[in-house]
Amino acid sequence: MPPRTSPTERQKRLGAELRRMRLAADVSAESAAGLLGIDRSKVSAIEQGIRAISEERLRSLACHCDCGDEKYIDALVAMAQNRKRGWWERYRGSLSAAVLDIAELESHATRMRCAHSVHIPGLLQTSEHAMALFRFVVPPLPEEQVRLRLAHRLERQRVLEGATAPEYATVVHESALRMQFGGRKVARAQLEYLVHMSERENIILRVLTFEAGGFPGAGQTVNYLEGPIPQLDTVQVDSTHGPDFLHTEAQLAKYRAQLDWTERLSLPPAASRDFIHDLAQQL
């Protein structure tokens, strides 16, 4: 397993929150360094997610910054203490760091909300469907890379299993359901798998039909990962250059409203299941 050469998205988020706390209290980096008994460069490293911070120092910093939100501080302490390497670290050096960051964030999410316009959600894809998608990457991937991505995708899906699995609420547009990646047989199996997965208690699947008309964020894939408290939620959006991670208050509010709107336009879960079943029968 190759060593990390940069902090993970979750580690960078902790550093960003500490910097935000410090700036909100108008505390200089030099003052924070003196309080923590470290030099100025180490404060910078902590705020970039490069260097760890102990619980004692984190709580001292929060006190010095007059942060009285105990739930927020406790959540930051938990982030600081949980820097263990998860299963995704086996792929470091073989897959992009951003792909591994998604798996790490999902593993810590208390609830997930998603909206997909063109693709079936990755956590609900069959292996055949996922394999077909990976073969449409430009430039084409070597077969070894395709197999690695598939193995990683299947391990990611385990986050939805078990008694402690988070709630997963997703909206899938009709266009994604009608795409036939891998051909009719693969497409039908994928739809049948969606019907099966939608029967799980922790999965809420809604379909946004063509008849619903326009909707906010059309064409965009959005994954909203809820943290232990709302301030620590994260939005991940797909782009042609890879995933982007957003977490400012304004960004979180925007995407919550967008997902609320999309869910209101969608079919209820039971009707969505029937809709997908009918599409599968047509294939």
Question: By C-alpha distance, which of 205, 197, 190, 187 is closest to 161?
Answer: 197
Q: Could you tell me which residue, 4 or 42, shows the higher pLDDT? A: 42
Task: Look at residue 267 and tell me whether its pLDDT is greater than 60.
Answer: yes
Whole-model pTM over 0.85:
yes
Rounded to the nearest integer, the mean pLDDT of the chain is 94
Task: Look at residue 144 and tell me whether its pLDDT is greater than 80.
Answer: yes
Question: By C-alpha distance, which of 267, 77, 99, 238 is closest to 170?
Answer: 267
Task: Look at residue 38 and tell me whether its pLDDT is greater than 90.
Answer: yes
Mean pLDDT throughout 179-194? 97
Give the lowest-confidence range in 98-107, 216-225, 248-257.
216-225
Mean pLDDT throughout 3-15? 86
Q: How many CB atoms lie within 10 A of CB 157?
A: 18
Cα dihedral: 84, 90, 94, 99 (round 10) = -50
Note the pLDDT tens digit of each residue in 221-254: 999 999 999 999 999 998 777 799 999 999 999 9
Mean pLDDT throughout 74-84? 89
pLDDT for the residue 241: 78
Q: Are strands 167-173 and 203-208 parallel, antiparallel or unpaired?
A: parallel
Mean pLDDT throughout 19-28? 96
Give the lowest-confidence range in 62-76, 97-111, 228-242, 259-273.
228-242
Give the lowest-confidence range in 29-33, 84-88, 172-176.
84-88
Q: Return the residue matching tokens 């180490």.
A: 42
Token pair, residue 157, equals 């899906």
* pLDDT tier, 107 (very low <50, low <70, confident <90, very high otherwise): very high
pLDDT for the residue 5: 66
* CA distance to 112, 183, 207, 271, 274, per residue, from 178 (Å): 24, 11, 12, 17, 15
pLDDT for the residue 240: 74
Task: Look at residue 118 and tell me whether its pLDDT is greater than 80.
Answer: yes
pLDDT for the residue 3: 54
Q: Could you tell me which residue, 220 or 163, shows the higher pLDDT? A: 163
pLDDT for the residue 1: 56
Burial class (CB in 10 A: 0-12, 13-18, 19+), 166: middle
